[in-house]
Structure 1
């Protein structure tokens, strides 16, 4: 790079804004060699077949370089466009539940191997592996396991695999070019309600407009609102693993709501 500006760090990675020799602005993430960057690059390219994402300029074991996304304030119109874009992304679909590349969320590995249906995938590839890492009290573990057992009966009508971002909290939506641009994916074939529940978990500007535009493009199955806590179980477990017991109450509240479905 011709020049670089330090942007701090995240999950042990160094973040930089740089300018290449040809004048292009880029975002660079560097750190210890692992499969994380190859996984993120594969996910971005896959999502980019259907929605706006940064271009993968370079990827290696210890770095990921992406085109720079110039941010702008969110607007109602951008939210409308983003909701429709997100619906089209999900409708682009996937070959199955899972992905052909290793999965990561933050720096935590996830099993992306295929499963026959979504309840099985969500239970065995997302919930139970992170429950084992979460170091929760035995009584909490038992309640989460009860919620997992209920997945086949509370997950709603079967749907084909959707092409999802997989870690779609508001910080991974950059407002640019009159829509939301997706970054930092944990992309895989999954359930589309998972992305929508993640947007609701930590809030998103104009979320009501995003949801309205989404449903105009691709209506959701009846009961989707009641299933939001079901789809929030995995990101809440991830936060317990990453940050400890401060997220325990939110997790167990979601578990209680799932058990009441």
Structure 2
């Protein structure tokens, strides 16, 4: 990170000490990160020099705030986003000494289920108090939300998601998630079979949501694969969210995509939120988004798996 960004963070947050720590760094395929020692404890700084990095980090900041406000699933405490024309963008958050998720797999499942039910409790509380949805409250992240979407764009990887609010979940998912990704592929290089399959699938999507299935907007992590889950000495931790309000089953799709969560995680989750009728087909439908998203991020190596899921869904 350029010195100018370090000085900006130090000045704006009033640190008297701000120096890179030994170890504690890390990064993935999208961002880089480093731990810093400060006079108020250790912090972690994620950085990215892409032109749209601020949009990505602004969304992550709001997602972390929203999840943290529920008091359910532990996430690093978010602090601030810093933008510098010469150094790119940085997201400052609490530093946590993360370890591989082992001891707290079951607790992770429990905490994720509690996160998914948190907005339902807010709605019930609002109804009980006869307060209107959208009224100004002390903490905007604890409002009762009755629509699908999010107040700001969030990114799954580096691609922004269209979080424009919608009242109908199947329509929102088809338009704001699947169609959005498919259009990106079409604009990039096109794919005839993809478009043919989509023309059939989009008409069939309502079938996967029977009338008896009640979908209350749940606050979702949005990108909870095994690489975004860990633990500290006392609790499981999730990070790098792509948060929005949607169907709770959506979070379980990428959770199983790379086989990182064990049976204890799923058993604990479904003990609180049992599988509803039609879950397997919807699981495939939600998995489709992530294969499309990976195709857009990493290329046509994900074409075969994407089209395979679509063929299963239309048959």
In 2: Cα distance, 1:185 partner to 1:45 partner: 10
Deviations 1:229-249 (A, max 9, x none): 111111111100011110111
Stretches of structure 1 that go unaligned for 5 or more consecutive residues are none
CA-CA distance at 1:5 after TM superposition: 5.0
Match of 1:116 in 2: 167
Residue in structure 1 matching 2:75, options 53, 58, 70? 53
**Aligned partner of residue 46 in structure 2, secondary structure:** strand
Residue among 245, 256, 267 paired with 1:189: 245
SS across alignment from 2:54? coil
Match in the other structure for 2:195: 141
Change (3 A) 1:245 1:219: same
- Matched with 1:160 is 216
In 2, Cα distance between equivalents of 1:60 and 1:118: 34
Within the alignment, does 1:151 sit opposite 2:205 as a pair? Answer: yes
- What is the TM-score when the length of structure 2 is the normalising length? 0.76
Please tell me whether residue 92 in structure 1 is matched to residue 110 in structure 2. Answer: no
Counterpart-to-counterpart distance in 1, 2:30 and 2:100: 28
**CA contact under 8 A between 1:103 and 1:109: conserved in structure 2?**
yes
Tell me if the contact between 2:208 and 2:278 (Cα under 8 Å) persists in the aligned partners: no
Show structure 2 runs of 5+ residues with no match: 1-17, 84-88, 120-144
Shift of 1:178: 4.6
Cα 1:86–1:248, aligned 2, differ >3 Å: closer, same or farther? same
Q: Aligned partners of 2:267, 2:294: CA distance in 1, in Å?
A: 28
Report the TM-score, using the length of structure 1 for normalisation.
0.91
* In structure 2, C-alpha distance between the alignment counterparts of 1:2 and 1:111, rounded to whole Å: 37
- Which residue, 233, 252, 258 being the options, matches 2:307? 252
The residue that corresponds to 1:175 in the other structure is 231
- 8 Å contact 1:11–1:107 — kept in the other structure? no
Call closer, same or farther: CA 1:73–1:128 in 2, change over 3 Å. closer
Q: Deviations over 1:148-197 (max 9, x none)?
A: 22111113523111110111111111222454311111100011111011
Counterparts in 2 of 1:209 and 1:9: CA distance versus 1, 3 Å = closer
Deviation for aligned residue 1:9: 4.7
Partner Cα distance (1:179, 1:142) in 2: 46
**In structure 2, how many angstroms separate the alpha carbons of the residues matched to 1:138 and 1:256?**
14
Q: Which has the larger radius of gyration?
A: 2
Residue 69 of structure 1 pairs with residue 125 of structure 2: no
Pick which of 84-93 and 64-73 moved more. Answer: 64-73
Distance change >3 Å, CA 68–CA 83, structure 1 → 2: same
